[in-house]
Amino acid sequence: MAYTALRQMKEKNEKTFGKGAGPVQPERHFDPADRGLKAEALSFLHSRCEGLGFSADKEKQESLSGRYQGTGLLEGQIPYNMQMDLNRLCLERELEKFIDSGAADDAYTVYFCYLEMFFGHYGKSKKMVELLSEFESNGSSLLMKHRDHYSHSVYVFALGLAIYESNSSFRAAFKKFYGFDPDDSNAGADHAAACCFLEYWGLTSLFHDIGYPFELPFEQVLSYYEVAGKKRGKGSLFLAYRDVEAITKLSDPAKTHFENLYGRAFGTTEEVLAHGIKLRLGEVYDFTEEYILSKIHNKPIAPDEFNYFMDHAYFSATRLFREIENSSGVEKINEKHVDALTAILLHNSLFKFAVSFFKSKNPKPPLQKEKHPLAFLLMLCDELQCWDRTAYGRNSRTELHPMAADFDFRNDAIHAIYYFDKEEQEKIDAFKVLYKKWEDGGEAGEAPRLKAYSDMAEKEQRFASDIKKTVELAQIPLTVVPDTRKVDRKSKHTYLSASNFLHLYDFAVALNARYSYQGAEKEVENEVLEKEFETLSLEYQLSNINQAKSFAKYLDALRCFYTDRPVDYEMICAFTDEQIGVFAPMEHERWILEHISMGWKSGDIYETAPLPDELLKRYGDEKSARKALREQLRTHKLALDGAPGRDEIFKHYAALPVKEREKDYAPFNSMLKLIKKFDGLRIYRLE
């Protein structure tokens, strides 16, 4: 059983309440024979990460005190390790949604899960996550070339999980590098290594591009000249950063910590990262710490030394260090954190052009996974993830890029099929004619290009060959095949309502508060609502966020939409009973499917069964004890079992008592006042 704490609670409940008591062991939602991206990534989370976040100390304290330390709906309702299992299940389900849709708001909940699980809580780090998406969507249209990096990073995360799960050679290299038994048959070591990989690969992959807001202004200035057809270079006006010590200077506690960690003094994050790179790669690639420090130091202040390109990776690593320091404390930073940061720093251009010189006449060898597993995997997955990326730049919007991909990870290999829009077949056919003509003419001059199709279709195989020049793939054979198919945009769930991730979080906070502040919306402070939201477990926070994500769909059914911009449509200040009657069954459907996916059962045993003495003693009153019992049984009287369809769920909703169906009406109107006050959103009617 992959979710051992849930199994243990089920065994305990069955002894007390009989066979069939919950919780339900979560199911895997894919064919076990499938070896694709989704199946492998989810298999990693479902089975290999057993025991993620478990605490033997807390388990012992619970046993001695007779009180649980985990949070269900409220604190202390479930065992701590059971909450950790539910957190992992949340991440598994949210990653599954994202892989199915590729939508940015589904990427958002993956970030939310990771930050809650490994940083403590999302609130401290939300600006870091939200800024990249907001900056890209609002500022990137001014660039000549730019594509999404927000959803891209979550795809990179998923690719890394799939490769770790499917590839025994990479798995063994990671385990050996970090001191785990490389033998997969050692189950304890295997689970511990997987949990370690998830934490530090998540840190590496999800945040490797958060420095783009520093690169985008640089590119915007150069784009002004490129519009006129001029190439960047000597004579170009460009931006450079000054006083970078403001973000790189180490605090006194950080100086002390790193001196204890490495046995020598450091003054800036640049020096720490240069030392980390030298430790991992200096001997193999024959460079000194002084050399790599000079390259790192000049990245933000002298872009003309790097062909007039600003390196977002420098700012990603620097910004992420500050986030870890501020959220977790510098004393928590270890060598694995530094490896994650140096992997990020290396991934864009530093390794290729300052370490391996992969495009020179005498390049140095590609990076081996045994030398720096996190950097190896990031550079591999960052290149592989080139599909389904929103194009923002002027040229990018007209270029031909893959819109979908299928992967097969069998036999320790990677076989990728990249799909291009079938509607662009005319461009592809024209390219093939030109390429054939170039071949027949003796291949004189530059080969015809149709980025990125030509990089995969031409015999030179630039796409795959460039990857192989960067990372050593002798033990991970890579094949790439281009193909075409019809675009399917339905999975994106795109509606007229315009949201951003600030809205999603604040929307969810308002949803959580809708029962408590009816009639008092003007008096309540936003900080109070956020603190209340933060006390919820990850499962219940996500439930509010996913309800917020669904609101655009509900409004679409009413011929309404929301936006934070003033528009010339009739504003809705309150929902009528008739309007709520349209979307209430849709919300019930979302709630039902969410509970099924999270292992809940249908039933009212928590209301009817005799209460065990230990529960009454633990909670002091029957009402609190029965609420806790519902969380421990993961059973709800309004839930459904199996795989009900929409018609069955809507009939189930219609059969509910009127009191149950109408209890959300007033709170939803309270929510409208809260989101208007705290988030600036307004709801308008199309007709």
pLDDT of 1 higher than 70: no
Q: What is the mean pLDDT of residues 527-550?
A: 89
Q: What is the mean pLDDT of residues 674-679?
A: 67
Which pLDDT does position 667 carry in this prediction? Answer: 66
Q: What is the mean pLDDT of residues 505-513?
A: 80
pLDDT of 391 higher than 70: no
Query: In this structure, are residues 489 and 544 in contact, taking their beta carbons and an 8 Å threshold?
Result: no
Cβ contacts of 401 within 8 Å, gap of 6 or more? 147, 386, 387, 389, 391, 420, 451, 452
Which pLDDT does position 493 carry in this prediction? Answer: 64
> Identity (one letter) of the amino acid at 656?
L
Percent of the chain with pLDDT over 90: 57
Tell me phi and psi for residue 323, to 5 degrees.
Answer: -65, -45
Which pLDDT does position 250 carry in this prediction? Answer: 97
- C-alpha 19: how far from its chain's center? 38
**Average pLDDT across the chain, whole number:** 88
Q: What is the mean pLDDT of residues 97-119?
A: 91
Return the bridge partners of 415, or none: 408, 479
**pLDDT (tens digit, 9 = 90+) per residue, 159-210?**
999 999 999 999 999 999 999 999 999 999 999 999 999 999 999 999 999 8
pLDDT tier for residue 520 given thresholds of 50, 70 and 90: low
pLDDT tier for residue 256 given thresholds of 50, 70 and 90: very high
**pLDDT (tens digit, 9 = 90+) per residue, 602-643?**
999 999 999 988 888 888 899 999 999 999 999 999 999 999
Percent of the chain with pLDDT over 70: 89
Check residue 676 and report its DSSP letter.
Answer: H
Q: How far is CA 328 from CA 127, 411, 552, in A?
A: 16, 39, 35
**pLDDT (tens digit, 9 = 90+) per residue, 315-353?**
999 999 998 998 888 999 999 999 999 999 999 999 999
Which pLDDT does position 393 carry in this prediction? Answer: 43
Long-range contacts of 58-63 (CB under 8 A, 24+ apart): none
> Torsion over CA of 562, 564, 565 and 569, rounded to 10 degrees?
30
Which pLDDT does position 226 carry in this prediction? Answer: 65
Give the Cα separation of 535 and 538 in Å (integer): 9
Neighbour count for residue 77 (Cβ, 10 Å): 23
Q: What is the mean pLDDT of residues 415-423?
A: 92
Q: What is the DSSP secondary-structure string of 164-189?
A: HHH-HHHHHHHHHHTT----TT-HHH
Give the Cα separation of 288 and 296 in Å (integer): 13
pLDDT of 37 higher than 70: yes
pLDDT of 122 higher than 70: no
Return the bridge partners of 70, or none: 78
Give the Cα separation of 480 and 463 in Å (integer): 8
Burial of 341 (0-12, 13-18, 19+ CB in 10 A): buried
Which pLDDT does position 143 carry in this prediction? Answer: 45
Lowest mean pLDDT among 57-61, 450-454, 547-551: 450-454
Which pLDDT does position 397 carry in this prediction? Answer: 45
Coil, strand, or helix at residue 475?
coil
Which pLDDT does position 395 carry in this prediction? Answer: 46
* β pairing state of 601-602 and 635-636: parallel
**pLDDT (tens digit, 9 = 90+) per residue, 124-158?**
666 666 666 666 555 545 544 545 678 899 999 99
Give the Cα separation of 283 and 208 in Å (integer): 25
**pLDDT (tens digit, 9 = 90+) per residue, 555-611?**
888 898 888 778 888 888 888 888 888 888 998 999 999 999 999 999 999 999 999
**pTM exceeds 0.85, yes or no:** yes
pLDDT tier for residue 668 given thresholds of 50, 70 and 90: confident
pLDDT of 398 higher than 60: no
